[in-house]
Amino acid sequence: MAVLIYHLKIMASMMIVFLILLWTTDSVQPNTPQAAVQVFPPVNFTLTVSALAQVLLHWKPNPNQEQKNYTIRYDVKILSPVPEEYDTKKTHSIRTAALHNGFSAHIRTLLLHNDLLMTSDWVKEKLPPLPGAPETSVTNLSCVTRITISSTVSLHCTWLPGQGAPEDTKYFLFYRYETYTEECQDYIKDKWNRNTECRFSVTQIDPEEVDNLVVIHINGSSKYAAIKPFQQLFNQNAIEKVNVPRNVTVFLEQNDLLATWEKPISPFPKECFEYEFYLFNLKSGNKQILKISSNDFRLQIDVTSRYSIQIRANHHICCTRGFWSDWSEVIYVGQNKLENPVAWILAVLCVFTCCTFLLVAIICKINQVWSKLFPPIPTPSNKFRDPFPNDYEVK
Ligand SMILES: *[C@@H]1O[C@H](CO)[C@@H](O)[C@H](O)[C@H]1NC(C)=O
Ligand SMILES: *[C@@H]1O[C@H](CO)[C@@H](O)[C@H](O)[C@H]1NC(C)=O
Ligand SMILES: *[C@@H]1O[C@H](CO)[C@@H](O)[C@H](O)[C@H]1NC(C)=O
Ligand SMILES: *[C@@H]1O[C@H](CO)[C@@H](O)[C@H](O)[C@H]1NC(C)=O
Ligand SMILES: *[C@@H]1O[C@H](CO)[C@@H](O)[C@H](O)[C@H]1NC(C)=O
């Protein structure tokens, strides 16, 4: 009986597998239309490095492809370094990507005919990794931009030499922003005299652009090894160290603390910013950080306490969040009196000492007056001679 059920089960699962196969092969077949139109892959697909971390993909329509009135498009599939798939009716496309580990892409023709979508085979192409010995590339690259008062953008990058980089390695940093490329002229070195930091006080980065890419390329040279270049893409807003909020003013109105401030130096309007308000109660030691999206703030506080206040800013609505600004300078509000118990005790002690001193002085004074009013009864002076002057001495 059990054996029969077992066989039935196997048969049932085989049926299901068969049905699934039938169904999937059916659904995979939409490319065979009634009028058999052949779809040919594009030809002469090439990849060209057109700038730092930029590759131009271009191809030609297959000359064998019937032109007629079909809609022809191309399906582009980037496999590495970052997978991406899109379609285009053009025969070229530009991509920005870190190319140090190579680049590879597939492409095929898409043909739309009578609501039917037909596809050709894929054609493949790739760029090899950039040459160099392993572990010689820089690591831990990080970059920060800042908007200056003159509305230009500065750039500062730091990195670590690769573990396999010889001691004589000299690294060179380039940045590219859109079509502009520049090499760093202001390096800071580590103790082996290798460049590990670079500053551009002015760049071509447009502070008004949103979420544009800053390309960093670091290559190097050494007598003992080929140094493998390294590339990284940064979103210009994500690496921006936001400026500090300006003109922070804080005052008390009855039991409320009122604060106002101006947005940091930035081309973005004030609606783009959010703030963190740090409130520290110096009496109780309580700390609070409040998130605020306007430029002013009212909060009920304990008026017997003294507070310290700081504010920092970030942008986020108009673009990607950056690095939080530094905290603004500390501002104190509230009563100062009972703030410090030591000062309190000292004050009490001081008053007490003064009072005591005063009291003693008064007592002395009174005594003096008293003695003037009622001069002490003079002890009778010995007008008479001691009848027995020698008695004492004898004793
Ligand atoms: C593809 O490239 C080959 C060789 O470079 C060239 O002879 C041919 O004309 C090109 N095909 C097209 C369609 O441009
Ligand atoms: C091209 O399109 C027109 C109308 O859109 C149609 O009448 C004609 O048959 C089409 N030609 C071919 C070759 O498909
Ligand atoms: C460098 O980056 C690695 C991995 O991201 C991290 O583990 C390491 O702590 C970083 N080194 C320094 C010195 O920051
Ligand atoms: C580093 O890269 C720049 C830009 O591609 C290139 O001009 C330069 O020759 C390279 N230097 C080395 C040492 O590879
Ligand atoms: C900050 O205050 C100063 C002086 O009160 C004023 O000149 C300046 O315009 C203010 N800045 C902003 C951004 O409002």
| pLDDT one-digit tens code per residue, 270-322 | 999 999 999 999 999 999 999 999 999 999 998 889 999 999 999 999 999 99
DSSP symbol at 390: H
- Whether the per-residue pLDDT at 357 is higher than 50: the answer is yes
Exposed, middle or buried by CB within 10 Å (0-12, 13-18, 19+), for 295? middle
**Are 121 and 57 in a shared domain?**
yes
| 145 CA from centroid of ligand 5 (Å) | 24
Ligand nearest the Cα of residue 33 is 2
Give the pLDDT mean for 158-173.
94
Ligand nearest the Cα of residue 160 is 3
- The reply to whether 180 falls in a domain is yes
Please tell me the predicted confidence (pLDDT) of residue 196.
Answer: 94
- The reply to whether 113 falls in a domain is yes
Spatial neighbors of 335 by CB under 8 A, at least 6 apart, are 303, 304, 305, 306
Please tell me the predicted confidence (pLDDT) of residue 378.
Answer: 53
**Are 73 and 158 in a shared domain?**
no
For ligand 4, atom 2: residue with the closest CA: 219
Tokens of 330: 């500390």
**Are 322 and 266 in a shared domain?**
yes
Please tell me the predicted confidence (pLDDT) of residue 60.
Answer: 96
- Whether the per-residue pLDDT at 18 is higher than 70: the answer is no
Pocket test for ligand 1, best of 43, 48, 91, 109 (most atoms within 8 A of CB): 43
Please tell me the predicted confidence (pLDDT) of residue 366.
Answer: 64
The structure's pTM equals: 0.75
Please tell me the predicted confidence (pLDDT) of residue 389.
Answer: 46
Please tell me the predicted confidence (pLDDT) of residue 374.
Answer: 59
Question: Number of helices and strands (H, E) in the chain?
Answer: 3, 23
Instruction: Print the domain residue range for 225.
Output: 139-235
- The reply to whether 22 falls in a domain is no
- The reply to whether 62 falls in a domain is yes
Residue 241's DSSP bridge partners are: 323
- Per DSSP, the three-state class of 293 is coil
Q: Which of 180, 210, 235 is the last residue of a domain?
A: 235
Whole-number mean pLDDT of the chain? Answer: 85
Do the beta carbons of residue 42 and residue 108 sit within 8 Å?
yes
- Name the pLDDT band for 338 (thresholds 50, 70, 90): low
Is 68 touching ligand 2 by the criterion CB < 6 Å?
yes
Instruction: Kindly report the number of other CB atoms within 10 A of residue 328's CB atom.
Output: 21
- The reply to whether 378 falls in a domain is no
- The reply to whether 357 falls in a domain is no
Please tell me the predicted confidence (pLDDT) of residue 17.
Answer: 44
Please tell me the predicted confidence (pLDDT) of residue 24.
Answer: 44
- The reply to whether 175 falls in a domain is yes
**Are 121 and 148 in a shared domain?**
no
Determine the Cα–Cα distance for residues 312 and 314; give it in Å rounded to an integer.
7
Is 232 touching ligand 4 by the criterion CB < 6 Å?
no
**Are 250 and 320 in a shared domain?**
yes
Is 49 touching ligand 4 by the criterion CB < 6 Å?
no
Q: Which of 69, 93, 127 is the last residue of a domain?
A: 127
Give the pLDDT mean for 346-361.
68
Please tell me the predicted confidence (pLDDT) of residue 348.
Answer: 64
**Are 186 and 143 in a shared domain?**
yes
- Whether the per-residue pLDDT at 251 is higher than 60: the answer is yes
What is the pairing mode between strands 92-96 and 116-119?
unpaired
- Whether the per-residue pLDDT at 369 is higher than 70: the answer is no
**Are 161 and 183 in a shared domain?**
yes
Is 172 touching ligand 4 by the criterion CB < 6 Å?
yes
- The reply to whether 189 falls in a domain is yes
- Whether the per-residue pLDDT at 66 is higher than 90: the answer is no
CATH of the domain at 53: 2.60.40.10
Please tell me the predicted confidence (pLDDT) of residue 4.
Answer: 47
**Are 258 and 329 in a shared domain?**
yes
Please tell me the predicted confidence (pLDDT) of residue 392.
Answer: 46
Please tell me the predicted confidence (pLDDT) of residue 342.
Answer: 65
- Whether the per-residue pLDDT at 10 is higher than 90: the answer is no
For ligand 1, atom 11: residue with the closest CA: 44
- Report how many domains make up the chain: 3
Give the pLDDT mean for 135-142.
96
Pocket test for ligand 5, best of 260, 262, 329 (most atoms within 8 A of CB): 262
- Whether the per-residue pLDDT at 115 is higher than 90: the answer is no
Please tell me the predicted confidence (pLDDT) of residue 68.
Answer: 75
Q: Which of 92, 127, 162 is the last residue of a domain?
A: 127
